[in-house]
Amino acid sequence: MSKRVIVVGGGAAGLMAAGQAAAAGAEVVLIEKMKRLGSKLAISGKGRCNITNAGDISDFIRFYPGNGKFLYASFKQFDNQDLIGFLKELGVETKIERGGRIFPVSDEAETVIAAFQKFLSQHKVKIILGHTVEELVLEKETKVVGVKFRRSRNKTSDSNTSNDQEFCPAGAVIVATGGASYPGTGSTGDGYKLAAQAGHKVIKPLPALVPLRALEDWPRELQGLALKNVEVSIWVDGVQKGKQFGEMMFTHFGISGPVVLTLSRIASHALAEHKKVEVRINLKPALTFEQLDARLQRDFKRFCNKHFKNSLDELLPKSMIPVIIRLSAISPNKVTNEISKEERRRLCHLLQELRLNITGTLGMAAAIVTSGGVDTKQINPATMESRLIKGLFWAGEVIDIDGITGGYNLQAAFSTGYKAGRAAAEYIQSTE
Ligand SMILES: Cc1cc2nc3c(=O)[nH]c(=O)nc-3n(C[C@H](O)[C@H](O)[C@H](O)COP(=O)(O)OP(=O)(O)OC[C@H]3O[C@@H](n4cnc5c(N)ncnc54)[C@H](O)[C@@H]3O)c2cc1C
């Protein structure tokens, strides 16, 4: 049996897996489809790379809706503090920002990629860039013995006849091909095809951490407006399924911003099941309905001779006033002391339950992460090895794991990459 470990994909998970397998003594070949390593890492955190979060690792699991528990074993072996220490040893100092987000002090993702390049070179990992793994080679459908790969196609070389498929033998293969989001970075869902080929179940990949499209036109009028300290809830077929407090923004197609991205996973899943999705924005979450009503009564008394349209300046951002006035169906030229109790209470409702019908997401092209992927039930969380095929390991976003923003997705990629790398090397050595 070959003593080689092949790592498919040179993103966060693959870089960690390749380096760790080599550090543990294996001969490692890393095959990356793109012409460079870490394309997605390079754009993560707006190019600053939010590598992990400073929170207590025992608290991390709840930030992965769905299968967070699958990560217990990986986090136990390689947690956020281990990652910080690992990068420090490679010369990358880190800092903590708002919400516990950890970034390299350089504020440049490239620093992290360079550190991994150094790590891989220290441990003599052979790197093949610009080549795509197309097939896992299996023996008796129970054991992996290598991969078939080919130079990645580009627009000018499609007709190149010398672009033959090659076979690379291996005793273990780690698939770290990422999800299907931001396909321009190389993660185009190839891992799902490899999974299906190996008999693995793939949970339908859906965009997550993604902006949402609204049926209504009025968000377009407010595009660019960011709201802080609002409460956004998401409703599926009339039932509330999630609620977040924080920041959001309006766009020409609908809504985006941190709280919307966090809730988008629920929308994405519900829309895939053709359910009705609605978002309700509470612009004044610090006040009860009655408190808000009292506040409006005070304002209307104070501005008793003003028109309604001129009475909301202290309550709302300027650009929102015409929209709210229109939606309230109260005449803009009504003098405030003529506004009826019923109209005022309707306005309160509107301010605390501004509704939007969600018609879709911006799709995989704009999704920060993919929800869905290789079914965790068929992967051993203690080793990341397939429960179906010996010597086949999985790491990173290709697995049915997705986290919220804040560094959780990269930590999951690094931790599962670590585990897969170490376990693959051990597996190879155990078969000697
Ligand atoms: C814009 C953006 C910003 C983000 N910011 C953050 C952040 O700040 N913090 C955070 O925690 N998460 C962030 N994420 C999410 C995070 O980047 C990913 O979850 C993480 O990079 C996944 O790592 P991975 O190694 O599993 O996959 P990827 O990084 O996608 O790597 C997979 C690699 O496999 C290669 N590949 C695919 N198929 C093949 C094949 N057939 N053969 C060979 N190679 C192949 C791809 O080219 C790619 O390089 C962000 C995502 C995006 C899109």
CA-410 nearest atom, ligand 1 = 11
Domain 4-205+371-430 is of which CATH architecture?
A: 3-Layer(bba) Sandwich (3.50)
**Looking at the chain, which residues constitute the CATH 3.50.50.60 domain(s)?**
4-205+371-430
Give 37's DSSP letter: S
Q: What does the pLDDT read at residue 157?
A: 47
User: Which CATH number applies to 211-362?
Assistant: 1.10.8.50
Ligand 1 mutation pick, 409, 414, 416, max ligand atoms within 8 A of CB: 409
* Portions of the chain given CATH number 1.10.8.50: 211-362
Residue showing tokens 């809830």: 233
- CA-nearest residue for atom 8, ligand 1, is 45
Q: Which helix (H) or strand (E) holds 370?
A: strand 369-374
Reduce the DSSP state of residue 192 to 3 states and report it. Answer: helix
Query: Sign of dihedral through CA atoms 256, 203, 30, 424?
Result: positive
CA of 417 to the centre of ligand 1 (A): 12
Ligand 1 atom at shortest distance from the alpha carbon of 397: 26
Dist. CA 40 → ligand 1 center (Å): 5
Q: Which atom of ligand 1 is nearest to the CA of 34?
A: 47
C-alpha to C-alpha distance for 270 and 237, rounded to whole angstroms? 9
Our mutation pick for probing the ligand 1 site, out of 187, 394, 405, counting the most ligand atoms within 8 A of Cβ, is 187
**Ligand 1 centroid, distance to 94 Cα (angstroms):** 20
Write out the chain's pLDDT in tens, 432 residues: 788 999 999 999 999 999 999 999 999 999 999 999 999 999 999 999 999 999 999 899 999 998 999 999 999 999 999 999 999 999 999 999 999 999 999 999 999 999 999 999 999 999 999 999 999 999 998 999 999 999 998 754 445 455 799 999 999 999 999 999 999 999 999 999 999 999 999 999 999 999 999 999 999 999 999 999 999 999 999 999 999 999 999 999 999 999 999 999 999 999 999 999 999 999 999 999 999 999 999 999 988 889 999 999 999 999 999 999 999 999 999 999 899 999 999 999 999 999 999 999 999 999 999 999 999 999 999 999 999 999 999 999 999 999 999 999 999 999 999 999 999 999 999 986
| Residue 303 confidence (pLDDT) | 86
Q: Comparing C-alpha atoms, which of 102, 64, 108 is closest to residue 82?
A: 102
CB atoms within 10 A of CB 213: 20
